[in-house]
Structure 1
Amino acid sequence: MTSAEFRAVYQALPADLQNRFSRLQRYVLVALECEGCVRVGVLTRLALRSAAAGVLDETATVLSLAELTLRAEPHTHPASVTAHRPRTAPRRRPVPVTGRIGRWVGTGPLTAATDASWKDGFGGTGFLTTDGRWGFGGHRMTPQDPVGPSKILVTELRAVRLLLSVVSPGTPMTVLVDSRGALDLLRRWRRGDTRALPAGCAAPDLPPLARLVARGDGLRFEHVKAHSGHLLNEAADALASIGRRHAAAELGIREAEERSAGLVDSFLRSWSQAAPLSA
């Protein structure tokens, strides 16, 4: 987005929205390498698109998500890398955390999004569903890890495993994934090819997942482009980031749970108001 395009929308807004957009304009006008800033920029662009269409209630909702993401996400700009200190894993292996927001129970048709996150030797998984269920998990990479060279792909698949630990695979559900490799394997498993596994991977949890997916008559897997502004994918990405940061001992369990519940509720509220735009 150019400065002129930003101003054209900005100048037609009420003063309160102008003040809020002015604090976020750098995230859409300046190229930033920070992952947290990229997510803020995606949401801010969505808010600007709603503003250009004259839907100010939706604009305010998505803008609130951008502001929440700005506060909640880690920001690791290139200039701060030299000051980075090595992280240590928590003494106990972190266990996956799941929850549910009651006011979304019964919302249909059921759609879910899963995602994975990797950074500095720590991986995270996340998922949410449109009926209010959510979860995150994380782990540290070790030399003994049996995932082989496919750690990112395996983590994407483990995010689906976490989802299916709380939603029966027999439940009619569309699952959105942003990894083409994961999507290919999931669809092969659905067709019954449960022996297909990532190259060089000996992770013992994947064959049971393959068989579970093969039996999931209600499951349908679809691709969604990462960091394209799709609300469910952005929320799953943020949950995976929380799981990774919890595994790296950057977030305590209480803070991680509170952030996750608030984030999911906000994203689902925006999804319910703008589903045609996000689908």
Structure 2
Amino acid sequence: MNHKVPGVPGLPDPIVLATDASVTPDLAASGYLATTGHTGLRAHAYPPYLARPSARVVVTELRAVYWGLSTVLSAHPGRPVETRVDNLQALTFLRRWQQGGSQMPDGYDTHLRSRGAQPSLVKLQMLAEYTPHLTFLHEKAHAGHPLNEAADSLSKLALRCLRGSVPHTELPRLIPLWAKGALRDYRRSLTTE
């Protein structure tokens, strides 16, 4: 589910995108929030063929980057984007892909999906390699960075929704509420630095 809330006005480039993921043994969820106001979350049962269990966290983290980047880049083509991730393994893949590497997480299946669709990490690898003005940075997890905390909360909200503890009908209210609060806190953090 993707949403657009008012972004952070008057910010110079680059656009900042924060992504995060939450994984259980059988479920995967991701969330993202950008200074443009684009935000989203996804959750699904984790297909066992996509990667070995040890790689599921990094795969889900990278899928969060893909969904966030593809949304932001389609709305703002050509603008520089700084993507902040809190998973060092995911960051390593992103930086290698920027340099032309093609290695995927352990056991990730790169075969075409249904109806001939490319796997999301193959599309992300191509975005990283061929899109100018992308920067990938590490953001320490649970250190109070407003955008990272919001992405983390959105991924956990997606898991709770999938499990049935949060009704789907609440998402249109909760996602913009959390995103607006995080963007407000991010604006404040810029003025105090």
TM range (shorter): 0.7 to 0.9
* Distance in 1 of aligned mates of 2:7 and 2:130: 30
Greater length-normalized contact order (CA 8 Å, ≥ 6 residues apart)? 2
Name the count of aligned residue pairs: 180
Cα displacement string for residues 208-231 of structure 1 (whole angstroms, at most 9, x for unaligned residues): 220122111121000011011111
Give the match's secondary structure for 1:166. Answer: helix
Cα pair distance change 1:147/1:264, threshold 3 Å: same
* Deviation for aligned residue 1:198: 0.6
Cα pair distance change 1:103/1:206, threshold 3 Å: closer
Q: Write the letter of the residue equivalent to 1:154.
A: V
Partner of 1:28: none
Partner of 2:45: 140
> Are 1:115 and 2:23 matched, yes or no?
no
Contact 2:142–2:149 under 8 Å retained in 1: yes
- The counterpart of 1:264, out of the listed 138, 155, 179, is 179
Give the match's secondary structure for 2:72. Answer: coil
Cα displacement string for residues 139-178 of structure 1 (whole angstroms, at most 9, x for unaligned residues): 1124x43222311000000001111221117420111000
Q: Write the letter of the residue equivalent to 1:147.
A: A
Give the match's secondary structure for 2:33. Answer: strand
> Are 1:201 and 2:108 matched, yes or no?
yes
* Deviation for aligned residue 1:106: 5.7
Cα pair distance change 1:244/1:277, threshold 3 Å: farther
Unaligned runs of 5+ in 1: 1-96
Q: Write the letter of the residue equivalent to 2:59.
A: V
* Distance in 2 of aligned mates of 1:198 and 1:268: 32
Give the match's secondary structure for 1:196. Answer: coil
Contact 1:179–1:223 under 8 Å retained in 2: yes
Cα pair distance change 1:235/1:277, threshold 3 Å: farther
**Normalized per residue, which structure has more strand?**
2
* Deviation for aligned residue 1:187: 0.6
Partner of 1:52: none
Partner of 2:148: 233
* Deviation for aligned residue 1:254: 2.4
Contact 1:121–1:141 under 8 Å retained in 2: yes
Contact 2:19–2:32 under 8 Å retained in 1: yes
Greater mean deviation of Cα atoms: 250-259 or 224-233: 250-259
TM-score of the superposed pair, with normalisation by structure 1: 0.60
Contact 1:157–1:182 under 8 Å retained in 2: yes
Partner of 1:177: 85
* Deviation for aligned residue 1:112: 1.0
Partner of 1:62: none
Contact 2:22–2:159 under 8 Å retained in 1: yes
Contact 2:85–2:137 under 8 Å retained in 1: yes
> Are 1:99 and 2:3 matched, yes or no?
yes
* Distance in 1 of aligned mates of 2:7 and 2:84: 22
Cα displacement string for residues 57-101 of structure 1 (whole angstroms, at most 9, x for unaligned residues): xxxxxxxxxxxxxxxxxxxxxxxxxxxxxxxxxxxxxxxx11111
* Deviation for aligned residue 1:107: 3.9
Partner of 1:191: 99
Q: Which has the larger radius of gyration?
A: 1
Q: Write the letter of the residue equivalent to 2:85.
A: V
TM-score of the superposed pair, with normalisation by structure 2: 0.85
Partner of 1:158: 63
Q: Write the letter of the residue equivalent to 1:196.
A: Q
Cα pair distance change 1:108/1:132, threshold 3 Å: farther
* Distance in 1 of aligned mates of 2:132 and 2:46: 33
* Deviation for aligned residue 1:240: 0.8
Greater mean deviation of Cα atoms: 210-219 or 149-158: 210-219
Contact 1:128–1:134 under 8 Å retained in 2: yes
Tell me the C-alpha RMSD between the 2 structures: 1.9
Give the match's secondary structure for 1:200. Answer: coil
